[in-house]
Amino acid sequence: MSDGAAAHASELVAVAAERRWAWIVGAIIAVIVVMMVITGLHWASMPPSRVETVDAKTLHLRGEFVESNLGTTLAPDGKVTVRVVAQQYSFVPQCLVVPEGMPVTFRATATDVIHGFVVGTTNANTMVVPGFVATFTTTFNKSGEHLMPCHEYCGTGHEAMWARVQVLPRDEFLARARSGERLSCVAR
Ligand code: CUA
C-alpha cells in the first residue's frame, strides 16, 4: 500500500469513529430530554414557579425575619412554622425545636452568601439564597436530636457552620408551644 492510500484508510477509520461517537452523544441527549419530559409531565417536577423574594439588606430591621420572629411558632390553626436565617457562619437560631409527626414548614433566607442545610438524615434539605425565601414542608417521624450542617460552601468558616434540631414528642411540643412564644432550644 502506498503512503497516500494508508493515510486515506486511517482517515476513513477516524471519520467512522467520529460518526459513531456523534450517534452515542446524540442518543444520550435524546434520553435526557425524554427523561425531562416524562418527569415533568408524570411527576409534575417543574422549576419553582412561585419565587418569594426578600430584601437581604433590611432583614434585621423589619419584616418576617427580624430576630424576635425567628424560631418555631404554632399558629392557632395548628400550623407549625420554623423561621431561620443563615449567615457566615451560623444559623439563627442555633437550636431549633420541631414536633414529631406534624407537618412543619420551614422558611429560611440568608443575609450574605449562598448557604444550605440538611437536618440529619431526614429529607429536610434546601439551599438558602440571599434575597429569596426558601420554603418547604416536611414531617419528622421520630423524636430525637439532629445536627443541621450548612452544605453549601460559603467561606472559610463553612465547616464550622451548623445548628441543632430537637424533634420533640408531639405532646411535649404542644405543651411548650401553648404559650404562643417563639420556640427554640438555644441556651439562655
Ligand atoms: Cu454556610 Cu457553608
pLDDT digits (tens, 9 = 90+) for 127-167: 999 999 999 999 999 999 999 999 999 999 999 999 999 99
> If you count them, how many residues does the chain have?
188
**Alpha carbon of 123 to ligand 1 centroid (Å):** 18
Q: What would the DSSP string read from start to end of 151-162? A: -S--STTGGG-E
Q: Which of 80, 184, 182 is nearest to 137 (CA)?
A: 80
Q: Which of 149, 176, 157, 158 is nearest to 94 (CA)?
A: 149
The protein residue whose alpha carbon is closest to atom 1 in ligand 1 is: 115
Reported as a pLDDT band with limits 50, 70 and 90, residue 78 is confident
Which atom number of ligand 1 is nearest to the Cα of residue 151? 2
| Mean pLDDT on 166-185 | 88
Reported as a pLDDT band with limits 50, 70 and 90, residue 4 is confident
Which pLDDT value is given to residue 178? 79
Percent of the chain with pLDDT over 70: 94
Which pLDDT value is given to residue 46? 57
Which atom number of ligand 1 is nearest to the Cα of residue 113? 1
**Alpha carbon of 63 to ligand 1 centroid (Å):** 24
- Most distant CA atoms of the chain, gap in Å: 94
| Mean pLDDT on 171-182 | 85
Which atom number of ligand 1 is nearest to the Cα of residue 116? 1
Residues 6+ apart with CB under 8 A from 7: none
Maximum average pLDDT range among 49-53, 66-70, 111-115:
111-115
The alpha carbon of residue 86 and the mean position of all alpha carbons in its chain are separated, in whole angstroms, by 12
Reported as a pLDDT band with limits 50, 70 and 90, residue 118 is very high
Which range among 77-91, 100-114, 116-130, 174-188 shows the weakest confidence by mean pLDDT?
Answer: 174-188
Query: Mean pLDDT over all residues of the chain?
Result: 90
